[in-house]
Structure 1
Amino acid sequence: MKGVAETGTRGAAFWLVVIAATVGNIVNTSNNPVIAQVIGNDLEGNDALAGFLVSLSAFASIAAMLIAGAAIDRFGVRPVLVASTTIAVVGLVLVAIALTVPTLGASRVIVGGGNAAVAMALTSWIVAEVPHHERGKALGFFGLSVWVGLALGPTIGDALYRELGQQAVWIVSALLQTIALAITFVTRAPRPNGHHPVVNADRESTDTGEVQIDAAPIRGLAGWIAVLREVALPGTVTIAAWACEAFMVAFLIQHLAKQGVASGGIFGAANVFIVFAASVIITRLAFGGLTDKLGPVVVARWALAMVAAGMVTLGLSNSFALAALGAVLVGVGYSPLYPALTILATENLDPRRRSTGLGIFSALTSFGHALGSLIGGYLILVIGEGWTFTALAGVVLLSILLLRGRTSTSAALR
């Protein structure tokens, strides 16, 4: 089968990578809700212990993404995919064989790290292979795997747990993780250290819009500093943006309940998240190529403004209708934001160091998630949920200034 580089987003190869990523996200999201039920039913413990165990995966993913990004640049996508899938499967088998609090904790670290490395490798595959003029649309479509996984994973995990017990959850998850790896072997993976041959000119534009550099990439600490310098600004914006998302996911229902919005029912607070997810998916399907047409800087600025407007609306919400409006604004903003910021973080990097940069950028996304819940919880104690939504919206607006004067090379390369 032809690879992603030859067929772009219209070819089967691209969508096989998206399917593999979707299966991995199903595994990730199916496990977390089950842990809250396992603690208390199968193991002694409380909600605090369950929350701690769930959080272990997120912290493990930060380190795993950094390591995986550097490993991909050195060894290529395929070896990292095989190794990280094996690690994740080992973690799942561990807890299937012996369920205790220590083994469950160890499993969360192992599975979280392995699964994050798999996601890192698949994202690097897309960034490396998709033609430059389609990269924004490709990342948008690829990102849908997260939302499909979020929609299907908890339902699958809960059904397995209720019908077959906790052991079935881990066994089926291990099988799905292995199937995801098998899917990727149907198509050709990118070659290590960039998918294009290095040319004999100082700088030359290829047919995909990539800039090739014939000098060897900078190694050691100097190489990491060079990558960090390129990723720093879009990465900082990402921390601010994804801190908002984490806070919204963790505290929105609590905030709406205090404003008198019922938690259940068709117009219940929980269903605001369905509106949010639907707005992300619909916007990506309808405007997936917007980043490629307008450029990542313009799109990122407007997207951040939409997120800020949505956060303020959510903070003021005292009804389902107003909260749904806020969710739509936030969803429309987040839809193109990740593709736009990912392009800004990686487009000017030497292709041979791009996965390293992508690993750093992805780790900063996870850090933003952790920071949003942590700082948001503290701010609630000081100023309350509504004002915390507004304060975080202000941080997002300020982050737009970091993109001032930032230029993209996309137009020049095409």
Structure 2
Amino acid sequence: MNTWRQTSPTGRALLVTVLLTGLTTFMFLPLLAVHLSSEGVPAGRVGFLVGLLAFCSQGFSLLCGLVVDRFGTRAVLASGFGLRIAGYALLGAGTASATAVAGIAAIGIGGSLLGLAVKTRLVAEDGVPARDMLALRSTFVNIGVIAGPALGALVYPLGFGWILAACILSHLLLAIRLTLRPA
């Protein structure tokens, strides 16, 4: 709790970002294959799309450090939020092959950009040891990992579109807070 108290308002906003993006990501992720299958997407293509999401998320992480160094955390945060919002919107527009591939790739790459930009800004917090900040960040991530699927299961009967809308809204509000307001 001391780490939270020592964290600046921007640092707290970053931690809330970790929590909310974790919640919405894990509302979305476990139900993606279920949704695609229910839309009539063949099992092989569902597997490809889920694998593409993992590949884009993890594979792009190799380049994110260079991107953050080159363009700065604010620009990378804005790009990550923008890609994720666009990706969720594309998935909401339909599951046609090209649309789904573009949406999945945007979500994965955007998440990779967000993850590193947030970590970079968190460990740069004044007066808070990086180790403590990363531990607090992990706590917020784990809350999303646990609560997100349960929340997704509650919302899913209303339709997958509601989950996508929650993802878009949370990312849009967080983007406004973290990229448009002064740090």
TM-score normalised by the shorter chain: which range applies? 0.7 to 0.9
Gaps of 5+ in 2: none
Gaps of 5+ in 1: 1-6, 190-414
Match of 2:165? 171
CA 1:123–1:188: 2 relative to 1, 3 Å: farther
1:144 is the counterpart of 2:139: yes
TM-score (norm 1): 0.40
Q: Is contact 1:43-1:101 (8 Å) kept? A: no
Question: Could you tell me how far apart the structure 2 residues matched to 1:29 and 1:55 are?
Answer: 16
Deviations 1:110-141 (CA, angstroms, capped at 9, x unpaired): 1011011111100010122344x611111100
CA 1:40–1:69: 2 relative to 1, 3 Å: same
Letter in 2 for 1:36: A
Letter in 1 for 2:108: G
1:57 is the counterpart of 2:53: yes
Q: Is contact 1:81-1:118 (8 Å) kept? A: yes
Question: Could you tell me how far apart the structure 2 residues matched to 1:174 and 1:186 are?
Answer: 17
Larger RCO (alpha carbons 8 Å, 6+ apart)? 2
1:106 is the counterpart of 2:102: yes
2:154 paired residue among 137, 148, 159: 159
Letter in 2 for 1:20: T
The alignment partner of 2:124 has SS state of helix
Question: Could you tell me how far apart the structure 1 residues matched to 2:53 and 2:7 are?
Answer: 34
Deviations 1:333-370 (CA, angstroms, capped at 9, x unpaired): xxxxxxxxxxxxxxxxxxxxxxxxxxxxxxxxxxxxxx
Question: Could you tell me how far apart the structure 2 residues matched to 1:129 and 1:73 are?
Answer: 17
Q: Is contact 1:21-1:180 (8 Å) kept? A: no
Following superposition, the deviation at residue 100 of structure 1 comes to 2.7
1:14 is the counterpart of 2:11: yes
1:75 paired residue among 47, 71, 74: 71
Deviations 1:83-127 (CA, angstroms, capped at 9, x unpaired): 121111111111112233442233211101101111110001012
| More helix, by proportion | 2
2:35 paired residue among 10, 33, 38: 38
Letter in 2 for 1:100: A
Question: Could you tell me how far apart the structure 1 residues matched to 2:92 and 2:100 are?
Answer: 9
Letter in 1 for 2:17: A
When the two chains are superposed, the root-mean-square deviation of aligned CA atoms in Å is 2.4
Letter in 2 for 1:139: L
Following superposition, the deviation at residue 70 of structure 1 comes to 1.4
Question: Could you tell me how far apart the structure 1 residues matched to 2:122 and 2:50 are?
Answer: 28
CA 1:10–1:177: 2 relative to 1, 3 Å: closer
CA 1:49–1:97: 2 relative to 1, 3 Å: closer
Number of paired residues?
A: 180
The alignment partner of 1:14 has SS state of helix
Q: Is contact 1:8-1:14 (8 Å) kept? A: no
CA 1:186–1:136: 2 relative to 1, 3 Å: farther
Letter in 2 for 1:140: A
Question: Could you tell me how far apart the structure 1 residues matched to 2:85 and 2:29 are?
Answer: 16
Match of 1:320? none
CA 1:159–1:103: 2 relative to 1, 3 Å: farther
CA 1:187–1:9: 2 relative to 1, 3 Å: farther
Match of 1:116? 112
CA 1:114–1:180: 2 relative to 1, 3 Å: same
Report runs of 4+ in structure 1 exceeding 6 Å deviation.
Answer: none
Following superposition, the deviation at residue 78 of structure 1 comes to 0.7
Deviations 1:132-178 (CA, angstroms, capped at 9, x unpaired): x6111111001112101111221232332212x12222222111111
**Higher Cα radius of gyration:** 1
Kindly report which structure 2 residues correspond to 1:194-209, keeping only aligned pairs within 5 A, or say none: none
TM-score (norm 2): 0.84
1:184 paired residue among 153, 175, 178: 178
